[in-house]
Structure 1
Amino acid sequence: MKYVLAIDSFKGCLTSEEAEKAAEKGIIAVDKEADIVKVPVSDGGEGMLDVLATLLPMEKKRVSSYDAMMRPVEGVYGVSGDTAYIEIAKTCGLAQIEPEVRNPLVATSYGVGLLVADALQSKCRKMVIGLGGSATSDNGIGMLQAVKDTLAPGCHLPVDQILAPYDSVEVILASDVTNPLCGERGAARVFALQKGASLKMINILERKAITFARMSALHCGYDCKDVPGAGAAGGLGYAFLQYFKAKVQSGIDLLLNMSHFDDIVVDADYVITGEGASDKQTLMGKVPVGILKRVQSYAVPVILIAGKITDTDRDILKNAGFADAVCINPETMTLEKAMEKDIAKINISQTMKRLFTRDTTMNINY
């Protein structure tokens, strides 16, 4: 039997590679003849740079930077050939900010801008920006300010004029978020709550986004606020679209293409995907649904595993096409315990054993 493992990181717990190794261990325990292919994956969020490093010859560049709360951190991005790969979650990621200090009204993308400016100064001709997992809702204003401060310190020219010498640099946004900047499906109303925003903050953030987009449109003569992906990473997508003339590309498809995923999966018997927590939002562009869409034409069953899935969400996910959606954690296990790295690995391995033992009673719909 051929098993393809394409499991996203369990955020704050396991990398994609660690989750897949745990799954491999469980499968081998019950199928000694198993042909297992591991495909580390990311949608442009947490873990993108690590996955790319397994697919490309890559140099890691380190830059003094700041996290979303303007605390000094060592920023890092990858360079392969003349292309820079920047994972924003490594600099202004939500996972790096303690819950008690999260504040979307204060959080800034300034640190990301320092990496972008360094890549431009390093003569990179292309940038791939992984949007996902951000703690920010500043519409990319912080990023633009950092670029301006670095490329033209003390200059009073607007940022679009400062960026003019870099017009030939291609910018690709690796993201599966299709939300616009503003409105009911915009950055503030859909994503700010999970970043620590109150309902009052959400209204303030929405007004800030509308104002910034209006001013930018008047200045630039065009408006990208409704372009799909503008709402990604708290509006950081908008700033790149508006001021860098960036293009959006599916993050999961970008990495799957690099790994020649279709060639790997065409003769598979099972595909296992997963993430830390799965619900109906999984169907809104997250890694598992990206995997599902790629595999459906090959009629290979796709099984989703996650650290958290309710019965209701399990039904929703199965109706969407997953052969099964399985929670790896025992019902009685606390979140704190489940988040321990060694425990998470054991739970993934045990789940694989249960799924693929010949006399399993689990109901997998082929």
Structure 2
Amino acid sequence: MKNDFVIVLAPDSFKESMSAKEVCIAMEKGIKKVDASIKCIHVPMADGGEGTMQSLIDATNGEIYDLEVTGPLGNKINANYGILGDGEVGVLEMASASGIHLVPLDKRNLLVTTTYGTGELIKACLDKGVKKLLIGIGGSATNDGGAGVIQALGGKLLDKEGNELGFGGGELDKLHTIDLTNFDFRLKDVVVEVACDVNNPLCGENGASHVFGLQKGATLEMVSILDRNLRHYADIIKEQLRKDILDIPGAGAAGGLGAGLMIFLNGTLKTGIEMVIEYTSLEEKIKDADMVWTGEGSIDFQTQYGKTPLGVAKIAKKYNKPVVAFAGKIGDDIDILYEKGIDSIFGIMKEVTSIDEALKHGKKNIEKTAENVIRLIRLI
């Protein structure tokens, strides 16, 4: 091992155990225990889901702000958004304001849940003067096509009598007029990128309501109503705004929020890992490194479908850098990952234990495994 050896540490979080930043710190501790001369470059990662905002903030030395917003059921809740280190890019996760985890099981009703709070987070970012918005839309509790976002940003969705629609996907069949007279003008000068890892259209058997509705507590009857209402919503948009959103891939993401962000905010859909790779400047950091380490809580055959370790590995392989992955759990059929760029996968568990104990001791286990990997590398 040469004297100026450099390792890029680019893991995802280990859910319920460690943030991506904490994983980086634990990895470096193990490395330095063996060889203090090794340079470690921390690049906390995420794949567009939970933890994406935190990873981007950590990687850019940005700041997170708390805000009281309207929750999925119309009640006031605390949510947050971030501003990246350059002060020009706002980042938020719709789940923070409109997520399924915010709605108790016995109150999950897609006919009434709203994305209004997500719109309030967007407005808060605009108030900070951002030039770009990064929005993660996983984990939604909604099926309103982004109607709540539009309302929170000053747009009016009116029925035949000129009354504002209420919250939820159950109201969209009443939509008669879209009035954007007072829609937040600042959005015209802001680039919006949306982390979206599904290609579902807005409506139909592969659409938002049919594919995701039951998972969010809808009955079969509700699913039919919601799908019909979203189709009406799309028809009104096409008629009045001259934009056809019905069959665009990704429009059905997050209960149709994908459609709302594309139509009303001119949002561009990107895979979550692509977005994080870009804004953490991962590729630039990998170019001159000697090795890349990544990982997440569980690695198995599904890791090949847009998950962090494989996204990191693809960039590393462009520059012929060896890739080591760490996982709390190693699942089945991982051989495909070796073919796609990961060179070695290490489980961090040192003994049979309960899940609670495994989560509790994650940092120690990462540190010890990192130490052992470096000891092995030094023998080569």
Q: Which of 332, 335, 349 is matched with 1:315 structurally?
A: 335
**Corresponding residue number in structure 2 for 1:114:** 120
Equivalent residue letter for 1:347:
N
Alignment of 1:255-270 (within 5 A): 255-270=276-291
Q: CA deviation at 1:44?
A: 3.5
Percent identity, aligned pairs only, is 35
Alignment of 1:81-100 (within 5 A): 81=87, 83-94=89-100
**Corresponding residue number in structure 2 for 1:294:** 315
SS, match of residue 113 in structure 1: helix
SS, match of residue 45 in structure 2: coil
Q: Deviations over 1:239-298 (max 9, x none)?
A: 100222212344433443343322321233321222233344433323223212222211
**Corresponding residue number in structure 2 for 1:238:** 259
* d(CA) in 2 for partners of 1:148, 1:32: 55
**Corresponding residue number in structure 2 for 1:218:** 239
Alignment of 1:15-26 (within 5 A): 15-26=19-30
Query: Is residue 2:379 matched to residue 1:348?
Result: no
Q: Deviations over 1:18-47 (max 9, x none)?
A: 111122222333444422111112334333
Please list every run of 5 or more consecutive structure 1 residues that lacks an aligned counterpart in the other structure. 361-366
1:179·1:187 contact (CA, 8 Å) conserved in 2?
Answer: no
**Corresponding residue number in structure 2 for 1:145:** 151
**Corresponding residue number in structure 2 for 1:364:** none
Q: CA deviation at 1:5?
A: 0.8
TM normalised by structure 1 equals: 0.79
Q: CA deviation at 1:144?
A: 2.6
SS, match of residue 172 in structure 1: strand
Q: CA deviation at 1:99?
A: 6.5
TM normalised by structure 2 equals: 0.76
Q: Deviations over 1:168-225 (max 9, x none)?
A: 2324224151413345664456656665667777666555544443443333222234
* d(CA) in 2 for partners of 1:324, 1:188: 40
* d(CA) in 1 for partners of 2:112, 2:328: 31
Max Rg structure: 2
* d(CA) in 1 for partners of 2:63, 2:156: 22
Alignment of 1:122-141 (within 5 A): 124-141=130-147
Equivalent residue letter for 1:11:
K
Q: Which deviates more, 215-224 or 194-203?
A: 194-203
* d(CA) in 2 for partners of 1:96, 1:347: 32
1:129·1:171 contact (CA, 8 Å) conserved in 2?
Answer: no
Q: Which deviates more, 266-275 or 49-58?
A: 49-58
2:157·2:179 contact (CA, 8 Å) conserved in 1?
Answer: no
Q: CA deviation at 1:85?
A: 2.6
* d(CA) in 2 for partners of 1:277, 1:197: 29
* d(CA) in 2 for partners of 1:206, 1:225: 11
SS, match of residue 188 in structure 2: coil
Residue correspondences, number: 357
Inter-CA distance 191–333: structure 2 relative to 1 (3 Å threshold): farther
* d(CA) in 2 for partners of 1:295, 1:217: 43
SS, match of residue 199 in structure 2: coil
Alignment of 1:162-201 (within 5 A): 162-163=182-183, 165-166=185-186, 168-182=188-202, 186-188=207-209
SS, match of residue 321 in structure 2: coil
**Corresponding residue number in structure 1 for 2:167:** none
SS, match of residue 292 in structure 2: strand
Equivalent residue letter for 2:7:
Y
Alignment of 1:242-257 (within 5 A): 242-257=263-278
**Corresponding residue number in structure 1 for 2:168:** none
* d(CA) in 2 for partners of 1:10, 1:189: 31
Q: Which of 9, 27, 47 is matched with 1:5 structurally?
A: 9
Inter-CA distance 176–166: structure 2 relative to 1 (3 Å threshold): same
**Corresponding residue number in structure 1 for 2:38:** 34
* d(CA) in 2 for partners of 1:290, 1:196: 32
